[in-house]
Amino acid sequence: MWWKILAVWLLCMVGAILNGTFREFVLNPWIGAAWGHVLSTMLLLLLILVITWATIPWMAPASPRHAWTIGITWLLLTLAFEFGFGHFVAHKSWQVLLADYHLWEGRIWVLVPIITTLAPVWIARLRGLIH
């Protein structure tokens, strides 16, 4: 079961990397960095929901607790990757990494970990896999 959770998360990460590439090379030059961030974040949220919709029957959560376990696992993996890779590999400062969470500056990235956590529960309920 754990390998399925990891496999779907990796699929989401591939989507996130492709989305980031699209943002940098298409959206930002076209509509600017601020709006590129917003549109890219919204596209990533949609991608996470679509991937979850397509894969939740395969992961087959047997209960709400199981669906929450998937979401919380994805959250922890996402944050570990974002901050671990961002700081220790990409050598970004903690200040730069945390800047994406500044809602008051129009940075809506905080929605990504929130939706990543909630998506398995929401989608499993919508698909009638849990109650």
Per-residue pLDDT tens digits for 73-130: 999 999 999 999 999 998 999 999 998 888 888 889 999 999 999 999 999 999 999 9
Instruction: Give the total number of structural domains in the chain.
Output: 1
Cα–Cα dist 51/66, whole Å: 18
Tell me, yes or no, whether 109 lies in a domain: yes
Residue 131 lies in a domain: no
The continuous run of DSSP H or E covering 120 comes out as helix 111-126
Range of the domain at 112: 2-126
pTM, rounded to two decimals:
0.93
Tell me, yes or no, whether 69 lies in a domain: yes
pLDDT tens across 97-113, in order?
Answer: 998 888 888 889 999 99
Instruction: Find tokens 């400062």 and name the residue.
Output: 93
Q: At a CB cut-off of 8 Å and minimum separation 6, what does 31 contact?
A: 39
